[in-house]
Amino acid sequence: MIVTSVDNIRHISRESSNRFWISDEKNIILTNTEGDELYHITDIGSYYGGHTVDITGDLIYIDIDFNIIKLSKESKSTLIKKTENWIPLCVFCSHFNGDLLVGMRGFRQTCKVSRYSYERQHIYTIQHDNKSLAMSGFPNYITENHNGDVVVSDWPYAVVVTDREGRCRFSYRGRPSSSGISPQGICTDAMPNILVCDALTDAVHIIDQNGQFLSLIQTQQLEGINTPWSLSYDDKTHLLWVGSWTNNRVCVYRHKERQDYLPVTTSGSKRSSERGPKQFHKRQ
């Protein structure tokens, strides 16, 4: 799929199985699987994981003033206002209860994650823990696993995972005997494994819910995805969406049992088979 309104694919938030929000450093675009532009937002403040879709299907995003905004069909409202000392970098809405997770950067290279209820009341903040594994970099991307864990892409060193109470479970710093990881976009699947884009190896790491490395998805073998940067997983269709840092292309993979990923392709924009990456092209 090619989205002509953006330069690259920094983040993906699915509204449904065939409509999704895509962003670069300047724009958030609502598009469909035929590549049509349905809505365009330009007042964005974060080009990391700066938007999400809530349980009602509305977009939540970080605006240019670093407030957290909800955009629905009927209205646009401010959910959370930026505080003086903290800048939100990423946001995610829980698919289970509507809680909002916000990764923030503060002064003196501090960072934290705050959880808010569906009514946007503060629940807790993750900043330090009893294992001294607090986040230390930039919380670029954030998600929630099916077991209730909070999963943060803490650039430039690690994926930090805490339980639903905010206690740190583990920190993933790359495969054994590797030179580390530079984590970017993240998502989880139904098993529940964690998938994360690695800017060092230009691949997607798959780790289990306890932080053990399982396998890699080598996206260089696929057309147009030389540097995978953003991810989204669809529980209903078991498709994995991968966005490219170097261009405005998204490829879609069929997620089968365990780590067996079978690419999906199309002939034109409607028909599909089970060989090669799925490509949709914007109508001219």
pLDDT at 223: 64
Per-residue three-class SS string for the chain: CECCCCCCCCEEEECCCCEEEEECCCCEEEEECCCCEEEEECCECCCCCCEEECCCCCEEEEECCCCEEEECCCCEEEEECCCCCEEEEEEEECCCCCCEEEEEEEHHHCEEEEEECCCCCEEEEECCCCCCCCCCCEEEEEEECCCCCEEEEEECCEEEEECCCCCEEEEECCCCCCCCCCEEEEEECCCCCEEEEECCCCEEEEECCCCCEEEEECHHHCCCCCCEEEEEEECCCCEEEEEECCCCEEEEEEECCCCCEEECEEECCCEEECCCCECCCCCC
Residue 98, domain member (yes or no): yes
Q: Supply the range of the domain harboring residue 265.
A: 11-273
Give pLDDT tens digits for 15-57: 998 899 999 999 999 999 888 899 999 999 998 999 999 999 9
- State the pLDDT confidence band at 177, using cuts at 50, 70 and 90: confident
pLDDT at 278: 35
Residue 149, domain member (yes or no): yes
**How many domains is the chain built from?**
1
In the predicted model, is pLDDT for residue 277 greater than 50?
no
Residue 282, domain member (yes or no): no
Residue 278, domain member (yes or no): no
Residue 136, domain member (yes or no): yes
Residue 3, domain member (yes or no): no
Residue 197, domain member (yes or no): yes
Residue 259, domain member (yes or no): yes
CATH of the domain at 64: 2.120.10.30
pLDDT at 127: 79
In the predicted model, is pLDDT for residue 94 greater than 90?
yes
pLDDT averaged over every residue in the chain: 84
Residue with the larger pLDDT of the pair 110 and 52: 52
